[in-house]
Amino acid sequence: MLRTVLSTFGILAGAVFASAQQPAGPAPAGRAAPQPQAIQQVKPGLFMITGAGGNSTVRVTSQGLILVDGKLPGEANYNALMALIKGVSDQPVKYLIVTHHHADHTGNNQRFLDAGVQIVAHENLKKNLVTYQVDPKPAPPSITYEGAEYTVQLGDVKVELHQFGRAHTSGDTVVYFPDLKVVALSDVVTTGKTGPLIDYAGGGSATDWTNVLAGILKLDFDAAIPGNGDVMTKADVQTYKTKFDTVIARARELVRMGVPQDQLLAQIKTDDIGWAPRVPKIDAFYAELSESK
């Protein structure tokens, strides 16, 4: 049963990508700087804010605002975010739901706490913050939940938090707005040519990820807000799962065939997918595939 708070995952041939758990800061040479923030309506009373980190979601209620993810750290990022929010509602943010511990989603936690906002997250997110190597380190949430489900209620709006298992990290929260049939997926689903990042240091899992996607697809939604990029349809999410499953199945078969660990990434066929998973820890990836082959 959902508990209620009343009143509130490409591989470039042979390359191992840097871990997601790197300090936030100026964009390295050759990587684009974060884009300016922009807001768009997804459904009446629900908005997506892009830029300056992962996508954020704003839900307007009669008693205040529920925000999902708070951008990269920095006063300028925070102020720009709040200015966009105030452009659609003068009501205060009452709850910030953070979907995993990475700083492009949690970077302004302390600023929100200082403003009296309750921050809600899975207990695993709080645990991951303890060993997260980033400066500044995000402040921990003020409210955590264990298990698979939780509910935030504000005014007449109920928002469901689902933890379907390990994917991008061990603390991923999928945020579902049942009255609008919209789901915020964070980095469980991303768009563009940058493939899903399996953050093993943060408890992520390649083989469990498919179960998380399956759980998401059981929800009744017609619009999905990914960790970055444009709003997706349910069919888009199904296509993403099909691609993900295909890449993992191919990798698992290569392991079964005895392809050495140091050659695995280069041999996985991904050109027909459009992206490939980013794997900071090939040993953990190989071990997972070996256990599940």
State the Cα–Cα distance between residues 206 and 286, nearest whole angstrom: 10
State the pairing for strand pair 149-154/157-162.
antiparallel
The pLDDT tens digits for 130-163 are 999 999 999 999 999 999 999 999 999 999 999 9
Q: What's residue 34's pLDDT?
A: 64
Question: Token match 């190597």: residue?
Answer: 133
Where residue 26 falls among pLDDT bands split at 50, 70, 90?
A: very low
CB 151 within 8 A of CB 167: no
**Dihedrals phi, psi of 121, to nearest 5 degrees:** -160, 165
- Terminal CA-CA length for the chain: 34
Residue 67: which residues within 8 A CB-CB, separation 6 or more?
Answer: 56, 57, 58, 59, 85, 93, 95, 96, 97, 112, 117
Which string of b and e fits 19-57 if b means at least 16 CB within 10 Å?
bbbeebeeeeeeeeebeebebeebbebbbbbbbbbbbbb
The pLDDT tens digits for 215-269 are 999 999 999 999 999 999 999 999 999 999 999 999 999 999 999 999 999 999 9
Where residue 32 falls among pLDDT bands split at 50, 70, 90?
A: low
- Sign of the CA dihedral running 9, 14, 17, 19: positive
H-type alpha helices, 36-191:
75-86, 103-106, 109-114, 123-131
The pLDDT tens digits for 274-285 are 998 899 999 999
State the Cα–Cα distance between residues 86 and 93, nearest whole angstrom: 10
For the cut 80, the answer to whether the pLDDT of residue 27 exceeds it is no
The two counts, helices (H) then strands (E), for the chain are 8, 13
In the CATH hierarchy, which top-level class contains the domain 4-15+31-234?
alpha beta
For the cut 90, the answer to whether the pLDDT of residue 209 exceeds it is yes
Q: Number of C-alpha atoms within 13 angstroms, CB side, residue 181?
A: 9
Closest CA to 74 of 63, 84, 66, 82: 82
Share of the chain above pLDDT 90, in %: 84
- Model-level pTM greater than 0.75? yes
Q: Reduced to 3 states, what is the DSSP secondary structure of residue 159?
A: strand
Tell me which of 5 and 158 has the higher pLDDT.
Answer: 158
Residue 106: which residues within 8 A CB-CB, separation 6 or more?
Answer: 69, 70, 98, 100, 125, 129, 138, 139
Q: Work out the average pLDDT over 4-11.
A: 32
